[in-house]
Amino acid sequence: MDVDLRKLRYFVAVAEELHFGRAAARLHIAQPVLSRQIRALEDELRVRLFDRDRRSTELTAAGRQLLQDAPGVLAAAEGLTRRVRQAAGRTETFTVAFMPGITVTAPVQALLARHPGLAVEVLRVSAEDQTAVVLDGRADVGFVRLPLDRRGLRLRPLFTEPRVAVVPRSHRLAGKTAISVADLADDVLLQDPDVVPEWRDLPHRRPLRPGARPEPPARSVEEKLEYVAAFRGVVVLPLSAATHYTREDVCRLPVEDIAPNQVCLAWDAARDSALIQEFGDLAEASHS
């Protein structure tokens, strides 16, 4: 059985909105058409994907599983299409991925000036998918932050920037002009400790008390800052990422004894085109 990618995209829209009307508006199709496509997908898969009544739409267990798997399938299909077209010499678009806080305007505009017929697109990513979008073909290059899994990638260092601790506005350290990483030893770190090895290697840290809640499963910077504001812990972020989000309930503290963050340009090691190299030169020049 072959799954129709169009129906899969329709399913993702409904699953994310949990509302057929909003999903139909998002997809720019009529709601009855969307309902028929979802029913057809359920018939093809021989499962029910949604429990729906007049008041609500909820995912079934099968629907939750499909929502977990579908984005990867769609991304792989999109990447496949881009790679095949590029192999045939049809470089219609050049997509640049970037992390929050990193500005890519200068090299993008420089590339457009050199190649007026090229459509250059930008794609915002997170720490969780900054390498995946390059490896699966959704982006030609990505501005990434280390550390990351380097397998399958080529990296070109661009610049470094200081990192800061983000704490609640009424935190015991708030108001200090600078701190050391040891000052954070009694706080809960709301990110992978390997990202902040200086904190991880501290000899004395507050152990998690019996019965205490574990660290929240924060993924995006926005989620981390929500937890910081709620006194669930602290985060250490590159300065540009921290200043990208304006909030009155948290504050930034320079950390004197922590290594700066390295930003690199990344691309698939199997693809080393002249256009990628040219953009790398422009990106490096814009940050020199």
**Per-residue model confidence as pLDDT tens digits over 263-286:** 999 999 988 788 999 999 999 999
Residue 13 within a domain: yes
Residue after which a domain boundary falls, among 17, 45, 73: 73
Q: Domain range spanning residue 67?
A: 5-73
Q: Is the pLDDT of residue 89 over 80?
A: no
Are 266 and 127 found together in one domain?
A: yes
Shared domain for 10 and 97, answered yes or no, is no
Residues 120 and 169 in one domain: no
Q: What is the pLDDT of residues 220-258, one digit of tens each?
A: 788 889 999 999 999 999 999 999 888 899 999 999 999
CATH number for the domain including 68?
1.10.10.10
Q: Are residues 139 and 204 in the same domain?
A: no
Count of domains observed in the chain: 3
In a domain, residue 43? The reply is yes
Angstrom distance (rounded) from CA 79 to CA 85 = 10
* Amino acid (1-letter code) at residue 194: D
**Is there a single domain that holds both residue 245 and residue 171?**
yes
Out of 73, 108, 126, a domain closes at 73
pTM over 0.75: no
Distances (CA, A) of 239 to 179, 246, 263: 15, 12, 12
221 and 100 in one domain? Answer: no
Q: Are residues 101 and 155 in the same domain?
A: yes
What separation in angstroms does the CA of 211 have from each of 134, 190, 203, 207, 240? 41, 18, 23, 12, 36
Would you say residue 158 has pLDDT above 60? yes
Residues 172 and 31 in one domain: no
Write down the residue that tokens 């610049």 correspond to: 159
Report residue 207's pLDDT band, with 50, 70 and 90 as the boundaries.
low
In this prediction, residues 189-217 reach a mean pLDDT of 70
Specify whether 17 is located in the same domain as 145. Answer: no
Same domain, 235 and 281: no
- Partners of 253 in the β-ladder: 165
